[in-house]
Amino acid sequence: MTKLSVITVNYRGWQPLESCLNSLLSLKLENIDLEVIIVDNFSNDGKLDEFTEKFPDFTFIRSEGNYGFAYGNNLGVQHASGDFLLFLNPDTVISEKPLVSMLDLARQESQISIVSSQQVDLNGNNENPFGIFPSAWTINSIIKAVYSLFSNKKLSKSCENSRLVYPDWVSGSLILMRHEHFHQIGGWDEDYWLYSEDTDLCKKVKEKGGNVVLQCQPAITHQHGGTTRRTMRLTAFCKAMVIISKHIYFRKHYSGINHFFLQSFLIINTLLFDYLIPALLGFILFPFGSLRKYLLIYLNLLKYYFNSVVRFTWYIDIKKINPPE
């Protein structure tokens, strides 16, 4: 009998979480003892007690604050007793076939440290939740396109003609790994609040000699961004966090001239090319629509860069983050 601990981190994503938990309840698994742990990252909206009563067979843990996805996952692992850990986003729906197939892969080879699966959106379109590690050749879409023309290394691996792919990283929305491997790499890095923590986790696995594999079929359903797009202000905050987390990743995994170049280029590319014109349009047309989002992203990033200079660090104080509603 294999014991599997499923860990889900939630922050006010109750509607998608309910679908996710119902999908776990409906699983019919043989020789698998399922343990489900939900970490609530201080939603503080009165819903946790309701869900605790609705799903009495699951374990609910209340975090003392919204300290990020990595922190929530690590907190969940502290209460997990399974031989395998499955980190699962609350905006996913899983069934028996992909789960059993992933477990079979993880059990077959001890060198496989992380297993994931293809994900499809609500329309059935492949999301291809994997990629290669960030570098100077992937930091900008134009550079990435040029590099792909002249490089023998594929920047993205396709599931079209493969049963399995072996990318550098897979999305943290669905990660299966042995409990012992998780502790060997020190768990999730809590310096990240949201985004890039999955890339970092896979990086640590590979540095320890482990492999990362993604099965192309069968897939699970993922309502991508379902918990981070409730309001325009929250969406803008999370979009800015994508860039901020890249800065933290570069700080951790690069040094010297490479580190200086990557950080500088990311700032220039973000502030002058990716977001400047949309932000200006958002400022001019502020009352009229969705371009306002880009102005909010830009302001969030300017605040981060200002604080980075003042504090002389790329890192953020996780415990002081207060995401907007």
Of 138-142, 167-171, 276-280, least confident by mean pLDDT is 138-142
Q: What's at 81, amino acid-wise? A: S
pTM of the model as a whole = 0.95
Which 8-state DSSP code applies to residue 275?
S
Cβ atoms < 10 Å from Cβ of 312: 6
pLDDT of residue 110: 77
- Report d(CA 291, CA 281) in Å as an integer: 7
User: Binning pLDDT at 50, 70 and 90, where does residue 4 land?
Assistant: very high
Q: In Å, how far are 175, 205, 229 from 184, measured between CA atoms?
A: 16, 9, 34
Q: Shortest CA distance to 4 belongs to which of 36, 26, 52? A: 36
Write the pLDDT tens digit of every residue in 77-113.
Answer: 999 999 999 999 999 999 999 999 999 999 988 789 9
* CB 297 within 8 Å of CB 305: no
Q: In Å, how far are 105, 177, 203, 212, 302 from 110, measured between CA atoms?
A: 10, 10, 18, 12, 45
46: left (phi over 0), alpha (psi -120 to 50) or beta: left
Write the pLDDT tens digit of every residue in 221-263.
Answer: 998 765 666 788 999 999 999 999 999 999 999 999 999 999 9
- Report d(CA 236, CA 140) in Å as an integer: 20
Q: Parallel, antiparallel, or unpaired: how do β-strands 164-165 and 211-222 relate?
A: antiparallel
Q: In Å, how far are 18, 103, 128, 219 from 124, measured between CA atoms?
A: 20, 23, 12, 10
Which 8-state DSSP code applies to residue 182?
H
Q: Looking at the predicted structure, is the pLDDT value of residue 299 above 60?
A: yes
Q: Looking at the predicted structure, is the pLDDT value of residue 25 above 80?
A: yes
Share of the chain above pLDDT 90, in %: 82
Q: Shortest CA distance to 116 belongs to which of 212, 194, 186, 46? A: 212
* CB 222 within 8 Å of CB 120: yes
Token duo for residue 241 = 């966090």
